[in-house]
Amino acid sequence: MLYLYQAFRELVLENVFKFYKNIPVVNDLSFAIAPGEIFALLGPNGAGKSTTIRMLTTLTKPSQGHLEVAGYDVVKQPIQAKQSIGVVLQQTSVDGDLSVWENMELHGRLHHIANPQRQRLINQWLEYVELADRRDDLVKTLSGGMKRRLQIARALLHRPQILFLDEPTVGLDPQTRRRLWEIIRDLNKQGMTMLLTTHYMDEVEYLCGAFEGTRPGRIGIMDSGKLITLGTLQQLRSAHGEGLVMKQLGIAEAGNDSARRWEYLFFPSLEEANTYLNQQPDKTGMMVRSSNLEDIFVELTGRQLD
């Protein structure tokens, strides 16, 4: 599936390795992202996601392999690659002692955006993320959600081709998370290419789902530095099973392992899962439902996201 969009590739990793003390934290990683695609990169802690993002955003060099962003070799052309990307980090990276407008102004000057275009773009993006009325407020007076929206506006100011979103809604309340989801989906609808990392399965299902006639985003799951599966949510469900039978295990079966309180049996369809359940003489502690992304993640990695 690496070359699913071979003719048009905005971001490319080919046989990428990253070693720390001779240990591969990224191990022969290959995938490509098409222009306008939203791609979610998932994995448990230590899977290699953050290192992959650091390599793609020029913060660390690969030990081996080829990385390309917006047509630029990340190692040989880091300046051009950085000019083509916007990054929204999990950590708050805006300056709390500057105003909203001053943060945007500083970013615009660092990217050598000349006036009056710079002022027009600042106004445009502050309006887009609903912070125009807070332009003169110090950032340290903003809520967590407002700071994250400011980070998105700042990342978009220099009109990047690719937007990296690293845990964009972590620590935010449900209402604020939903508003950020709407912003992210709208940007993707406008054609923005995105690479997303998150620990929220519902976030991935929402952002990578097909909507308003657009193609669904793809999901890559990493573990131990390797890409272990890749596809749309529907492709992953079709490959691993769309129907699920859950059976509650007794104390003798589960022991002290809380993660094994339930046994999961995947079936190609919900109907086949129901057929299996109906054939059981004792249905105590058993139930049927449609599989979801978290079920597939746990099945593949043997653990839940922390």
The string of pLDDT tens digits covering residues 190-231 is: 999 999 999 999 999 999 987 766 789 999 999 999 999 999
Per-residue model confidence (pLDDT) at position 250: 74
Asked if 216 and 52 touch (Cβ cutoff 8 Å), the reply is no
The structure tokens listed for 155 are 């990342």
* 233 φ/ψ angles, rounded to the nearest 5 degrees: -60, -40
Tell me if residue 279 falls in helix, strand or coil: coil
Q: Which residue has the higher pLDDT, 5 or 214?
A: 214
Distance CA 40, CA 167 (A): 11
Check residue 99 and report its DSSP letter: B
Average the pLDDT over each of 17-31, 186-200, 251-265 and give the range with the smallest value.
251-265
Residues with Cβ within 8 Å of 170's Cβ and at least 6 positions away in sequence, in order, are 90, 198, 199
Phi, psi for residue 185 in degrees, rounded to 5 = -65, -35
Q: Is 70 exceeded by the pLDDT of residue 254?
A: no
What confidence tier does 161 reach under pLDDT thresholds 50, 70, 90? very high
pLDDT (0 to 100) of residue 217: 95
Whole-number Å distance between alpha carbons of 85 and 70: 8
Q: Lowest mean pLDDT: which of 16-20, 129-133, 161-165, 281-285? A: 281-285
The percent of residues above 90 in pLDDT, for the chain, comes to 82
Tell me what the mean pLDDT of segment 235-251 comes to.
91
Instruction: Residue 279: count other Cβ atoms within 10 Å of its Cβ.
Output: 8
- Percentage of the chain surpassing pLDDT 70? 92
Closest CA to 56 of 164, 177, 218: 164
pTM, two decimals, is 0.89
Residue 4: is its pLDDT beyond 50?
Answer: no
**Structure confidence at residue 5 (pLDDT):** 37
Domain ranges in the chain with CATH number 3.40.50.300? 36-55+79-232
Q: Which residue is it, tokens 């081709």?
A: 161
- Residue with the two structure tokens 């985003």: 217
Q: Tell me if 11 sits within 8 A of 195, measured CB to CB.
A: yes
Q: Please, which residues bridge with residue 12 across strands? A: 32, 68
β-pairing verdict for 226-231 and 218-223:
antiparallel
Least confident span in 140-144, 154-158, 237-241, 301-305: 301-305
Please tell me the predicted confidence (pLDDT) of residue 28: 96
What's residue 7's pLDDT? 44
Buried b (16+ CB within 10 A) or exposed e, 249-273: eeeeeeeeeeeeeeeeebbeebebb
What are the DSSP E strand ranges found in the chain? 11-20, 23-33, 38-42, 64-69, 72-73, 85-88, 162-166, 193-197, 218-223, 226-231, 243-248, 262-267, 286-290
**Contact predicate 303/280, CB 8 Å:** no
- The answer to whether residues 148 and 171 touch, using CB atoms and an 8 Å cutoff, is no
CATH topology of domain 36-55+79-232: Rossmann fold (3.40.50)
Distance CA 235, CA 239 (A): 6
Non-local CB neighbours of 15 within 8 Å, separated by 6+ positions: 28, 29, 30, 64, 65, 66
